[in-house]
Amino acid sequence: MIVFACGISHESHSFSKLRTEISDFEGADVGAIDSKPELLDTRSTEGGILSAAQEFGWDLRFPFCAHATPSGPLAEEAFETLVGRLLGELKRAKAVDGVLLALHGAMFAEHVPDCEGEILERVRAVVGPRVPIAITLDLHANFSDRMAALSNIATSFRTTPHTDQWETSNRAARLLNEAMHRGTAPHVYVARLPMLAGMDMGRTIDPTGPMNRLLAMARKLELETPGVLDISLNAGFYYGDVFEAGPSVTVTAHCDDASYGDLAKKIMLAAWETRSFVSLRHYGVDEAIARTREVASGVGPVILVDYTDGPAGGAYGDGTQLLSALLVENPEKTVVGPIYDPLAVDEAIKAGVGASVRLMVGGRIDPAYGGPPVEVFGEVVRVSDGNYLRKGPYATGTTGHLGQGVCVKCGNVSVILVSRRQQPEDREQYRIFGIDPERLNILACKGINHFRADFEPISRELIFVDSGGLVSVDFTRFPFRNVRRPVWPLDDDVAPPQ
């Protein structure tokens, strides 16, 4: 079997000022997978596909798997360049037996509101109606009707943090392999309700939480319902101002039968009942600092999670409110960062290790979300190229990039500054700056979900902070124009259709 695989993944925040350019994507060069056989042994999307191809004996054509840190909409040139590369390689592969696309589900560009649907339409135009197409998605996908109509198989991550990237891509590959050998064309069905939020934002840390209960319901129905190949739950991405934004359920089935759509709706109705449940409490900055004093003793750091400025949700990662408060408080053995500020990094590197520097840090992109620049006075104690090998549960074995970075020590507080926006996800991000996270008193990081896989096991408490960033949990702060209305929680008296 000749199988074409490719990946283009981005989570696009409608209200970000940072347009996403082609230079923001890692792994976008053709040959990025073929030239990296070591990815076979990683716990990644690429690893899952490569493993399946090896097991099934596919003639695999896998030119690249591009991904970028969540930010604003893709520039038209970025989208067209990536899709142009994908289609060029697909045409070069000629007669393929199947297609496997690693997408996100919440990507949109300046000129295309449904990027995944657009990619599928262009791919379908090349391969024709009979070649099965499988897609993998992030659990926070905004799944469109167009995506359902143009794909044969759709399956999403089942964990948040997303530690099942390998399992998801491998599962999609197995379903695709079965469809190719049987000569079948599975169908995808999608259900939504008038919900912008819900499913506890997809969190699966709590085994008794609503997302895990819904996932258990899905697995049971998969086993009980003839013809069902996969049921996936998508919590949605609430900062994407598109018509389909919000939670959805997809059912992949052997044949075309409206009852599978009813099955998807059954699970969505169960999700409706818990739509207002949120497992996290967010503290204001001053409240959070006060809380750290109450848990002063114990093993491992108190982790102040600067949630609303988390790059993993599309925030800028350069907010300063929490940094400013900690510089004043000056608690012992405290680390703040990484904070995104290429200009401050350049100044510190020019000054050199051992130099005393006075830097204006952060707040450069939009001070309305997270605060204005803050003066940082201290000693440059470490410079790093920002490259690290992931050793924790998230994408184990792959390499991450923070760009050039520095660590500046200001009294008891060490501030990490980087030149590439990246979420905290692995303890190695701190070790490259000479910091051992397990030995800290306080770690203030700009995390949302994925950091929990590697950091929560060493923490003595997590304190989630609302510092006014772009990933606000108050959705009324944003001027939505395109999401379907009425929709909960933006509108009153919203009820699901009978």
- Say if CB 25 and CB 328 are below 8 A apart: no
Question: Are both 135 and 106 inside the same structural domain?
Answer: yes
Number of domains in the chain: 2
Judged by DSSP in three states, 127 sits in helix
Sign of CA dihedral 153, 484, 365, 362: negative
Residues 256 and 288 in one domain: no
Closest CA to 466 of 288, 341, 253: 288
Residues β-bridged to residue 187? 253
State whether 402 and 261 are in the same domain.
no
- Whether the CA torsion 217, 222, 224, 228 is positive or negative: it is positive
CA 153 to chain centre: 21
Residue 486 maps to a domain: no
Task: Classify residue 443 by its DSSP letter.
Answer: E
Examine the domain organization and report whether 45 and 140 are in the same domain. yes
Give CA–CA dist 315/471, Å, rounded.
6
User: Does residue 477 sit within a domain?
Assistant: no
Helix, strand, coil in percent for the chain, rounding step 5: 30, 20, 45
Length in residues, the chain:
498
Whether 492 maps to a domain, the answer reads no
Residues 263 and 383 in one domain: no
DSSP assignment letter at 445: E
Domain assignment of residue 231, given as a range: 2-273
254 and 322 inside one domain: no
Q: Report cis status (omega within 30 of 0) of the bond before 457.
A: no
Same domain, 22 and 90: yes
Q: Please tell me the distance from the alpha carbon of residue 416 to that of residue 420, in angstroms, as a whole number.
A: 12
| 479 within domain boundaries | no
309 φ/ψ angles, rounded to the nearest 5 degrees = -110, 25
What are all long-range contacts of 353-357, with beta carbons under 8 Å and residues at least 24 apart?
Answer: 353/380, 353/381, 353/382, 353/383, 354/379, 354/380, 354/381, 355/379, 355/380, 357/408
Residues 264 and 124 in one domain: yes
pLDDT in tens, the chain (498 residues): 999 999 999 999 999 999 999 999 999 998 877 667 788 889 999 999 999 999 999 999 999 999 999 999 999 999 999 999 999 999 999 899 999 999 999 999 999 999 999 999 999 999 999 999 999 999 999 999 999 999 999 999 999 999 999 999 999 999 999 999 999 899 999 999 999 999 999 999 999 999 999 999 999 999 999 999 999 999 999 999 999 999 999 999 999 899 999 999 999 999 999 999 999 999 999 999 999 999 877 889 999 999 999 999 999 999 999 999 999 999 999 999 999 999 999 999 999 999 999 999 999 999 999 999 999 999 999 999 999 999 999 999 999 999 999 999 999 999 999 999 999 999 999 999 999 999 999 999 999 999 999 999 999 999 999 999 999 989 999 999 999 999 999 999 898 877
